Each structure stands twice: as structure tokens, then as C-alpha cells.
Chain A
Amino acid sequence: MIVGTTKPIKELIAITDPYKRILAVGCGTCITVCYAGGEKEVAVASAALRIARKLKGGELVTVEQTIKRQCEWEFVEALDEAVANCDAILSFGCAAGIQTLADRYTDKPVLPGVNTQFIGMVLEQGVWAERCIGCGDCITHQTGGLCAVTRCPKGMLNEPCGGETPEGGCEVDETKTCVWINIADRMKKTGELEQVQHLVPLKRWSLSHSGGCREIAMESMQK
């Protein structure tokens, strides 16, 4: 899932300051699950913005609408009428949602309500962890199903850097276990430990964001 965090309310107050009527749009998928921009967060942020404006002696009207996914045209269409009646759109979707709105509504300012953080998973209630940087060339079959590209701060692909603590903590962040120790432990359990000694070939970084903004076209699914 895409993990994000709601922007600090002070920042939202500042970026919405020029507008009098705002459409606050929540997203019902990833950003709802991480409590950053679902129906509830949109309602709380909208109320806070209205009160803050009122305390300054101004007036702000907010219209709230949460759609299933902000990153797909089919769902975004439902916003057409509300968008026509607002000065600006405050999107609580991830950056993909924000840009989908910007692409569709070319004559309205689109403001971000969320800081998009990473592709990750839920570790426990209220805790999320990054698990993928979207390198475009997955090698987890060679690393025990764990992504060293993402989870090693140095991006070591073939073994630990050697800086791990005696307890197995990462040199960069000792609160985390060195992912290469996790990889070795896991591959031992699955009987794959020998494979860890096979060198991972040079990665094709041109497939990652380093090669520029990516697009995927699946011919079989295109009209």
C-alpha cells in the first residue's frame, strides 16, 4: 500500500489561505487505511481549517467528498459537480491522486493535504514500514523474500556492509536489525542459505526512477 501522513494543520492553513471555498477530497483506499486522508481525516482537517479561518476573522466554506480511489478516472468523475463550485481542491490522496485531479481539472488549483511517504506495510496498529522503493527489477527471490534494496540504508546487494552492531543492529539505525541478518536467518530456515553466496548481478537502475518517470503499457489490456 501507499503510506502517507496528513500534512501538519498549520501548513494546510497556510496553503489554503488564498481560497474561500475549498473542496476537500478524501481517498478511500491506501490513504484511508493509514489514517491520513480518509473520510474521517478529511472531516477533522476541514473543521480545523474552518475554525482557524474564523479565528482570524475570515470565512472558509469546505465541501467534503471521499471517493474510492483518486488515482482512477472512473472514480474521479464523481467530483465534477463539486469541483465546478469551488475555488480550489485540497486533495487528501497520495501524490498519484493529487496529480490525477490536477490532470482532470486543469482550471482549478490542486493543493496537497497529504505527504506521500512510501510503499509499505502495516507492522502493527498505527505503525507502517517501508518495504519497496519501486526499483522496477525485483530481486527478492535472491534475498530470501526480503528487499535489501529498500531495507538496507546503504543498498548493499550481496552481503552486510560489516558495520552491524554485535547485537545485529544496523549501523545507520541501531533500532533496526540489519536486513542482511534477517535475510540469512530466513534463508537458513528455508534451506536456501547457499544461494545467499551467489552474487546478485549489477542491477538495472535504468528501470527505476533513475531512468526517468516511468510508464507501463500493457497491450493486452489496451483498447
Chain B
Amino acid sequence: MTAMKKLLEDIGLEPERLEMYNLSSSEGVRWRNDILEMLERVRKLGPNPLRNKETVTS
């Protein structure tokens, strides 16, 4: 995750757009809270700058 966040930063995307949460299938409340946390973060960051550009393909 550290390496991928650094990579995102180096190519010009906010590393905060990426996060990994470890939780089990029985942790429903935590799952909901994690999603809300990420949702709030992404709203603050704004739309993905690649969103309106053509699809990036190899």
C-alpha cells in the first residue's frame, strides 16, 4: 500500500484515493463506517481527474 500510494503521488493522483481496510464478513457496522469514511474523503478530493478523459488502455 505504501508503494502504491507513493506511485499515485508520483504520477499526479492523490494517494488518499487509495486505501485498504481489513475486516471480516461479520463486521457489518465497521464495514459501513469504513465506506462512509472513504466516501467523505473522496467527496473532499473531488472527481477523479481522469474521469472525463478517454479510457486508459494498454
Task: Please give the residue numbers on chain A whose beta carbons come within 8 Å of chain B beta carbons, in ascending order.
Answer: 8-10, 13, 44, 46-52, 54-57, 59, 61-64
Which of B7, B50, B53, B56 lies in contact with A44, CB distance below 8 A? B7
A95 to B35, CA, bound (A): 46
Which 7 A-B pairs give the minimum distances between C-beta atoms? A52-B11, A9-B10, A55-B12, A50-B56, A48-B11, A54-B56, A62-B58
The smallest beta-carbon distance between B38 and chain A, in angstroms, is 20
CB contacts under 8 Å to A, within B29-58, are 49-50, 53-54, 56-58
The smallest beta-carbon distance between B56 and chain A, in angstroms, is 5
The smallest beta-carbon distance between A114 and chain B, in angstroms, is 16
Which of B7, B53, B58 lies in contact with A54, CB distance below 8 A? B53
Name the residue in A46, A49, A50 with the highest tally of chain B Cβ atoms < 10 Å from its Cβ: A50
Nearest to A46 among chain B residues (CB) is: B58
**What is the interface of chain A mostly: helix, strand, loop, or mixed?**
helix
The smallest beta-carbon distance between A24 and chain B, in angstroms, is 9
**What is the interface of chain B mostly: helix, strand, loop, or mixed?**
loop
Which of A10, A51, A56, A63 lies in contact with B56, CB distance below 8 A? A51
Size bin of chain B's contact surface: 10 to 19
- On whether the beta carbons of B50 and A55 are closer than 8 Å, the reply is yes
What residues of B have a CB within 8 angstroms of the CB of A57 in the complex? 53
What residues of B have a CB within 8 angstroms of the CB of A51 in the complex? 11-13, 50, 56
Task: Please give the residue numbers on chain B whose beta carbons come within 8 Å of chain A beta carbons, in ascending order.
Answer: 7, 10-13, 49-50, 53-54, 56-58
The smallest beta-carbon distance between A56 and chain B, in angstroms, is 8
The smallest beta-carbon distance between A63 and chain B, in angstroms, is 7
- On whether the beta carbons of B58 and A55 are closer than 8 Å, the reply is no
The smallest beta-carbon distance between A21 and chain B, in angstroms, is 11
A46 to B58, CA, bound (A): 8
A208 to B48, CA, bound (A): 53
The smallest beta-carbon distance between B29 and chain A, in angstroms, is 34
Other CB < 8 Å A-B pairs besides A55-B50, A62-B58, 12 of them?
A9-B7, A13-B10, A49-B11, A50-B58, A51-B11, A52-B11, A52-B12, A54-B53, A54-B54, A54-B56, A55-B12, A61-B57
Which of B11, B12, B49, B54 lies in contact with A59, CB distance below 8 A? B54
Supposing A55-B11, A55-B13 touch, asked if A63 and B58 sit within 8 A by C-beta, the answer is yes
What residues of B have a CB within 8 angstroms of the CB of A49 in the complex? 11
A78 to B56, CA, bound (A): 26
Nearest to A50 among chain B residues (CB) is: B56
